Structure 1
């Protein structure tokens, strides 16, 4: 009993110290980026991880190249783990929204599942991230209902397969405007809400260079954030650093890193009231690293 009482006293003191110092035991906000050129993990792994640590990145969406030797992934993920950075296997193509290409998604899932079975804990992928975007297909304009139905079926298939490993987090990318597209068999449910519900986390491509006011990031994602709050899911808000030919307001390419960092700090402050908001994602490493420092 004396030992137990002493333990409680120590715990109380530690708790008081953490409270007084403002220390939080909550998980650190996510800061993610995409790596599309898989060969970079062998040609410049140290540069990637050094930049990531410098910028506070703790999650990498790494494009999968199944022709790469597993050892390349093991080495890179091990180094990332040592730096406190998780790696999710990234794959996708507009065609992956169609039933005819479902086998390509399942092949990716199966590869990751098999890889993780033989990898050490610090070498494993922490999740799988899909960037499919079938709305870029010509069929989206001619038969949207069919494409949405096939996309849904593919999502059902790959989430079911990935869930055979409960440790894998399943995520995807969606554009902010997908909340205006409704399910063919349920005109009251937006496709965005359905996708948020099917994944552990969804990254909203909320590509704007302002965080407040009309046509800003916060203005574009109000419904998605509310749905994720309701469903108990996680949302990341993504910004662009690549030069855009659709208008200067879509990317931070013109403004540079300093302005972007200021905006992202403000975005985090504004969105922190939402339990579903877990952080930000910056597209992509290849363009972000070249962004001017102004």
Structure 2
């Protein structure tokens, strides 16, 4: 499974000095003169064995200038009130807006829909604020999934009040801020006042109170016809928590929504399946005691479906892409898993399987699994076949080769589906959540034209297979960057098509990473001493391009010497760009490995009721069995998730 949901490895190389660098092939990006590059995104992976640099995206197309035009819409009240959200369920409000936590590096914030002590469901905000830090929650009044030029903001029109019900710990202090479209673009907001000013008790208390905020309290610099965000920021230090419910716009105070009351459980009552990947099959075959311990552990955790990596028969050599299964070793292992009540899928996966030269070998593997099932008794058979092909890891996927790579991938998927269907086997695949998301650079999902039909590649895959696992690798349930949001599109489409979806989470340890963005026309040569802080340098070297991240002027000399050792490279051909943006991506944003099993279970408990509203939702998949059981063996913990910027891939 990929470690960064959207990063494509392109041959990172260890550096002999402190400068982090890599190379990429010009052909992967159809790149001529590097001076034509106008946008790029790099990824630094901070690993114990040494940091690595990857190239994620390059284009000669200049970044779009933000539109100066902001669109507003007027909404109409009912009986003097317009309910934005009651926060009893769901991830979005009436305007299509999301909510999400924010925090500085030295503080933390977690946001979810949860019950208050009296059983009332609301937007729960839990913060731990340091002396110099900040934390809280923002609530959008527009859909930020839309491209900037298509976003529609809120025109407050004739409304006179903003109201909401709030309760929390006695010592918590909360400030209300607002942002219009212009301030939201700056990722900033302006204060309206302490929430206590708008409460009967003069402060947040452990009982529900109605906050009534006159809209004439909004700062003069806020455009009331283009309201973008409401921000609740904790002002008290250390830990604090509060709930918000029934957020509304009012024409008059008499129209305020009534006090919130507990709502009964509305989650559909149906079985939920639990799956996992087993990659170390050969070890389990070699050590029956280890096999038996694993099965007992998976049984105790309620797993009823496993994806078992096919082990090679070491006495035979297959063609490229083919696995010749170790039948003698597989039979007792598959039989033991079946006897323990777990359906077993034959698993394999490799990014290069998407390439046509590997297809014959992959299909031969499928035929061998079908043949294995015909050979052995029913209790030793596979229920299905599982492929974890990740074509986005191929060099060139994020460049001009994407369309052909995807068509080849879909052709293989279709061929496997035909064979498995004829054999009565279930066919499942794993796909990332971002195939159907609007990409940061393209502004649209990952499209593919297949058999004359153009739509997101995730839709094509769902059409072809029996079930998919969505790699929704996040460690929060709710919000604009949580598991619920990232799996919603696939669940909706699969429900329409009558297919099954498992939502996957990660427990394998992942490194902290950082995304580096550059934009604009580059400068020629190497940066001078005064310019050499936080820049990206590229220099052509034959059919490749050498890329380096330069942190300070002291790196220029070593970089110059390194370039002189590269065949076909010359400092005279170098170009450099100042770094526009650095986005930290902590490993704890994607994986529960450092957060503890309690945190993982809590997030799944939050996400399940929302996902079960989709008929396609089949269950949870946990990657992978080994790391999951390691997580259970470690001391239970519930460390906070480090805040970081959202990133969804092209």
TM-score computed with the length of structure 2 as normaliser: 0.40
Q: Secondary structure at the match of 1:164?
A: helix
CA distance in 2 between counterparts of 1:66 and 1:257 reads 33
TM-score computed with the length of structure 1 as normaliser: 0.87
CA distance in 2 between counterparts of 1:156 and 1:260 reads 35
| Structure 1: stretches of 5+ with no match in the other structure | 1-25
Q: Secondary structure at the match of 2:423?
A: coil
Match of 1:35 among 248, 254, 278: 278
Structure exhibiting the larger radius of gyration computed from Cα positions? 2
Contact 1:91–1:108 (CA under 8 A) maintained in structure 2: no
Aligned to 1:218: 484
Q: 1:266: how far off?
A: 2.2
1:182 equivalenced with 2:447 (yes/no): yes
How do 1:185-264 residues align onto structure 2 when only pairs under 5 Å count? 188-245=454-511, 246=513, 247=586, 248-264=588-604
1:65 equivalenced with 2:311 (yes/no): yes
The structure in which a higher percent of residues are helix is 1
The structure in which a higher percent of residues are strand is 2
Task: Say how many residue pairs are matched.
Answer: 268
Q: 1:270: how far off?
A: 1.9
How do 1:90-239 residues align onto structure 2 when only pairs under 5 Å count? 90-142=347-399, 143-166=401-424, 168-179=425-436, 180-184=445-449, 188-239=454-505
| Structure 2: stretches of 5+ with no match in the other structure | 1-268, 314-324, 437-444, 514-585, 638-650
Q: Secondary structure at the match of 2:362?
A: helix
Greater CA deviation, 237-246 or 108-117?
Answer: 237-246
- For the aligned residues, what is the CA RMSD? 1.6
Instruction: Tell me the alpha carbon deviations over residues 146-176 of structure 1, each in whole angstroms, 9 at most, x when there is no partner.
Output: 101111111111111222212x100000000
CA distance in 1 between counterparts of 2:404 and 2:359 reads 15
Contact 2:449–2:455 (CA under 8 A) maintained in structure 1: no
Contact 1:235–1:276 (CA under 8 A) maintained in structure 2: yes
Runs in 1 of length 4+ with deviation above 2 angstroms? 184-188
Q: Secondary structure at the match of 1:273?
A: coil
1:265 equivalenced with 2:610 (yes/no): no
Q: Secondary structure at the match of 2:312?
A: coil
Q: 1:197: how far off?
A: 1.2
CA distance in 1 between counterparts of 2:365 and 2:270 reads 29
Q: 1:110: how far off?
A: 0.9
Q: Secondary structure at the match of 1:139?
A: coil
